[in-house]
Structure 1
Amino acid sequence: MKNKSVPEIWDAIKRGDWRKPTSGIAPGFAQTNVVILPKEDAFDFLLFCIRNEQPCPIIDVTDPGQTAPPQAGPQADIRYHVPKYRIYRYGELEKEVESIEDIYKDDMVTFLIGCSFTFEEALMQVGIPVRHIEEGRNVPMYITNIETSPAGIFSGPMVVSMRPMTPKQAEEAARITAGFRKAHGAPVHIGDPTKIGIEDIQKVDFGDAPVIKEGEIPVFWACGVTPQMALKKAKPELVITHSPGHMFITSITEEEIRNAHLD
């Protein structure tokens, strides 16, 4: 899958040939979190993203009923090209599905939000390990005690993703990822997880438990699962998101994200 083109990956996802997390596939192209909700809730959610750019950097927004993201995937179809979706009704997770064809409505607006998977190739190119890719696992994610700025009906805690590395590697990773503002930017915290409300680093809220080697420290980035916490608290009638780690792969290049050409 790693050597396939983005349209080939979309086709594989639609056929059901890829239902796993997307970290490490389509190197060189940006990946995004997905939030799809009715038009009546879209303005409040847009304002929430603007006020919380680090966990919710907007890559693209569709018109109501538009299934092809105009910047991020003009030949894609958001109803089929995510490996796994989550359906929330009134804030409660109802189910996970592999297609939203029967759930998607013509008044729905799709938000594509930057993802830290986008900068992982840049880290690996300079020898910084990305442990969950090495282990063939999903990235570990945690709910923190860092509160987002509320907007309309939306508020809630920030979610973070974590990658273990040495202190020297963490310093270099912070420098590199600061250039990926549309993919969460620099880390929000390095070191002691209890300072951001994570009491046990092995007890993840999403993804897989980490493998942390001797001499390594946890490095935390803001995560695009953050909106799922706000959506759960707001309890709108219907919201569709990606399943954590199962991203929409865009036709936007990593270099475009790095240079923030989408401003």
Structure 2
Amino acid sequence: MPNGSTETRSDHAAAVRAARKARAAIRDGTLTGPTSGLAPGVEQGNLVILPADWAEDFAAYCAANPRPCPLLARGRPGDPTLPELGADIDLRTDLPGYRVFRDGTQVDAPHEIGGWWRDDLVPFVIGCSFSFESALLAAGLPVRHIALQRNVAMFTTTLDTQPAGPFRGPLVVSMRPFRPNQVDAARRITAALPRSHGAPLHVGDPAALGIADLSAPDFGDPCPVEADEVPVFWACGVTPQRALEQARPPLAITHRPGMMLITDLPLPAPAPA
């Protein structure tokens, strides 16, 4: 047990060093793309920033929809740091890309948001499926978009989320293909990680989710599904961006899909085989 604990601490320390190196590269503009595959062993997070008078309704929306919106942290008004997620984090600079919405319409897609920051803004960080990909890879399960150096494929479904106040809208899912004999392992591994969206929501026919064409994702890049594979779908933290479009707050800031906050939070220990 002592050796295992020492190894776990050492692994997490290495993951935190990788996370801080990645955040520094994002901050200085040398890392500008998707964060999938970076700093394995720590949680990545989706970002939503809203005026304080919209924050309680959005917190209620997250609570009503824990699969797409597992809340990792909620910040204080006007404070761009989240020390519980990492001592050096600055949400204005530490994601590779942002989306800025006014009244539900995107008006900017900057690489930093210092010019948009206000004292009444409240940040929320929601868990991300990129976090569980290191556990899949460690178990010998391939993650094709990482192998292809692409962003994950994300799709808007015809399934509705639970409304809360002005927030409502369709569920967004991410997709990764696996062979049928790999699906149970993928389900078991990810079910043990509820902060990262947990187990898949659906396996197989995309039409059951209202997805007409797997080669045309709404966000991210296409991911080929081979003849001996099935598509596997997880709830996705881009879901709140669809809800923001319908709620139409006067200002909202999110991450660009696939461009996450890399935190220092350790992933839970892998589920036993």
Q: Deviations for 1:107-130, whole angstroms, at most 9, x for unmatched residues?
A: 100000000000001101111110
Q: Does 1:237 align with 2:211?
A: no
Inter-partner Cα distance in structure 2 for 1:224 and 1:120 = 15
Is residue 60–residue 70 contact of structure 1 (8 Å, CA) maintained in 2? no
Corresponding position of 1:121 = 134
Once the two structures are TM-superposed, the CA of residue 5 in structure 1 deviates from its matched residue by: 2.3
Corresponding position of 1:254 = 267
**What's the TM-score once normalised by structure 2's chain length?**
0.92
Between the two proteins, the alignment pairs up a number of residues equal to: 257
Inter-partner Cα distance in structure 1 for 2:17 and 2:36 = 14
Inter-partner Cα distance in structure 1 for 2:64 and 2:257 = 22
**What's the TM-score once normalised by structure 1's chain length?**
0.95
Q: Does 1:48 align with 2:61?
A: yes
Inter-partner Cα distance in structure 2 for 1:126 and 1:26 = 17
Change over 3 Å in CA distance of 1:4–1:71 after alignment to 2: closer
**1:112 alignment partner, one of 120, 125, 141:** 125
Once the two structures are TM-superposed, the CA of residue 74 in structure 1 deviates from its matched residue by: 2.9
RMSD of aligned Cα (Å): 1.4
Q: Does 1:200 align with 2:213?
A: yes
Once the two structures are TM-superposed, the CA of residue 66 in structure 1 deviates from its matched residue by: 1.3
Deviates more, 1:48-57 or 1:121-130: 121-130
Is residue 62–residue 70 contact of structure 1 (8 Å, CA) maintained in 2? no
Q: Does 1:175 align with 2:185?
A: no
Inter-partner Cα distance in structure 2 for 1:244 and 1:37 = 17
Inter-partner Cα distance in structure 1 for 2:140 and 2:247 = 41
**1:84 alignment partner, one of 97, 103, 123:** 97
- After the TM superposition, which residues 1-263 of structure 1 pair with which residues of structure 2 at under 5 Å, given as runs? 5-255=18-268
Other structure's SS at 2:61 match: helix
The answer to which structure has the higher helix fraction is: 2
Once the two structures are TM-superposed, the CA of residue 3 in structure 1 deviates from its matched residue by: 10
Inter-partner Cα distance in structure 2 for 1:176 and 1:231 = 31
Q: Which amino acid aligns with 1:41?
A: W
Is residue 84–residue 242 contact of structure 1 (8 Å, CA) maintained in 2? yes
Corresponding position of 2:9 = none
- Structure 1 residues without counterparts, runs of 5 or longer: none
Q: Which amino acid aligns with 2:40?
A: P
Other structure's SS at 2:199 match: coil
Once the two structures are TM-superposed, the CA of residue 20 in structure 1 deviates from its matched residue by: 0.5
Is residue 16–residue 39 contact of structure 2 (8 Å, CA) maintained in 1? yes
Inter-partner Cα distance in structure 2 for 1:135 and 1:34 = 25
Q: Which amino acid aligns with 2:32?
A: R
Matched-pair identity in %: 47
Inter-partner Cα distance in structure 1 for 2:16 and 2:162 = 40
Q: Which amino acid aligns with 1:255?
A: P
Inter-partner Cα distance in structure 1 for 2:252 and 2:125 = 14
| Larger CA Rg, structure 1 vs 2 | 2
Inter-partner Cα distance in structure 1 for 2:62 and 2:153 = 23
Inter-partner Cα distance in structure 1 for 2:20 and 2:145 = 25
Other structure's SS at 1:169 match: helix
Q: Deviations for 1:120-160, whole angstroms, at most 9, x for unmatched residues?
A: 01101111110000000000000001100000010000000
Inter-partner Cα distance in structure 1 for 2:107 and 2:29 = 21
Q: Which amino acid aligns with 1:187?
A: P
Is residue 22–residue 246 contact of structure 1 (8 Å, CA) maintained in 2? yes
